[in-house]
Amino acid sequence: MKLLMHTCCAPCSVYCIDSLRKEEIEPTVYWYNPNIHPYMEYKARRDCLKEYTASIGVNAIFEEDYGLDEFCKNVIGDLKNRCVNYCYRVRIEQTAKYAKENGYDCFTTTLLVSPYQKHEELKKVCEEIAEKYGLKFLYRDFRVGFREGQAKAREIGLYMQKYCGCIFSEEIRYYNRNQAKPDIPMDLKTVKEEKPQVKKIENKEAYMDMLLEADPSKASIMKYLNDSDVYGLQLNDEIISLAVILHIDNKTLELKNLVTKKEYRNKGYAKRLLRHLCGNYKQKYDKMIVGTTENNIPFYVKQGFDKYEKTLKNYFIDNYDEEIKDGNLISTDMIYYAKDLKKKM
């Protein structure tokens, strides 16, 4: 099967691509969205999709057509039915046309992931156009993975749009807020996940084993633990992440330890805990610093620790009995970066 997937944006593509790949179907992403306005919004969504598809190694084609005039001329007479009568059609038709001319035998669309779209009507439009072009329409009810895909998109920092696309949907989003919320079919409503909560930890030493995973020397931990505040992220009665914050002076804090239990890693819990703490501390403090190994610098820079402060030469050699590994390398220096807590992220 050679599949062309009309793609409206990066966040909606996340679950669609992941689930198709699970089925061992490799889609080619096809960007054609002359319905997205104004231009800076169009550009933000397109550029994010370009970056995302490159990062996950999926083939992507970008059909440039900003199309504001044409879009408005075609929908203005019947705004109520604009989605089904024009917007879906123009995008799906162009996708099918490209597929036919370029040897694809099948197409689908990421619009099928959104519970905000008119799913059944969209499906009918796709079926009609597939018949017209003699192609197969690959139907999947991607809505089952809508929340999962959006959560992953947020987690990896994709640009998350606030409205469907056209200027009329922007108006509904920001001007007329009384529009009815879309009705997600009952069988697609997922069980609400327990939200992790931030908790101040008093019995700090009880968490020594977990802290040792980020700082493997008990002697080193004991130097800062009692003078620090320790916070945990609690999920279903279990502390899954910890952050240890030392007060350096009345304007500066130091993040001494940040760790997440192995089975919960790479799900954004440490980031969530850190973001929460920075948000709270910024009322009183100006700056948070962190000393880290070379390998962890990109993680901290992404969290706003973007100002280089200093390097403590041979810190890990002089202060630890065992070798501290940084990927495949042995760590030697401790490198400090600072985050301006007052700066908007």
Tell me the closest approach of the beta carbon of residue 75 to ligand SF4, in angstroms.
Answer: 6
Residue 37 or residue 287: which is nearer to ligand SF4 going by CB? 37
Please, what is the angle between helix 10-22 and helix 146-155, to 10°?
A: 120
- Token readout for 279 is 């948000």
Residues 72, 67: Cα–Cα separation, whole Å = 9
Instruction: Return all residues near 221 (Cβ < 8 A) that are at least 6 apart.
Output: 208, 211, 212, 215, 257
Residues 141, 119: Cα–Cα separation, whole Å = 9
Asked whether position 241 contacts ligand SF4 by CB under 6 A, the answer is no
Given a contact cutoff of 8 angstroms between Cβ atoms, the answer to whether 228 and 246 are in contact is yes
Asked whether position 260 contacts ligand SF4 by CB under 6 A, the answer is no
Q: Which of 166, 245, 290, 341: binder of ligand SF4 (CB under 6 A)? A: 166
Residues 52, 36: Cα–Cα separation, whole Å = 19
Please, what is the angle between helix 39-56 and helix 10-22, to 10°?
A: 30
Residues 35, 71: Cα–Cα separation, whole Å = 6
Residue 143 or residue 287: which is nearer to ligand SF4 going by CB? 143
Q: Which of 35, 114, 292, 331: binder of ligand SF4 (CB under 6 A)? A: 35
Backbone angles phi and psi of 340, in degrees to 5: -80, 110
Q: Which of 12, 58, 83, 244: binder of ligand SF4 (CB under 6 A)? A: 83
| Binding characters for ligand SF4, 115-154, by CB under 6 A (x = yes) | ----------------------------------------
Name the one range near ligand SF4 by CB under 6 A: 22-30, 140-148, 158-166, 202-210: 158-166
Asked whether position 165 contacts ligand SF4 by CB under 6 A, the answer is yes
Residue 84 or residue 246: which is nearer to ligand SF4 going by CB? 84
Q: Which of 4, 14, 87, 138: binder of ligand SF4 (CB under 6 A)? A: 87
Tell me the closest approach of the beta carbon of residue 77 to ligand SF4, in angstroms.
Answer: 13
Residues 230, 212: Cα–Cα separation, whole Å = 14
Tell me the closest approach of the beta carbon of residue 336 to ligand SF4, in angstroms.
Answer: 47
Residues 157, 62: Cα–Cα separation, whole Å = 21
Residue 127 or residue 205: which is nearer to ligand SF4 going by CB? 127
Binding site for ligand SF4 (CB under 6 A): 35, 82-83, 87, 164-166, 168-169
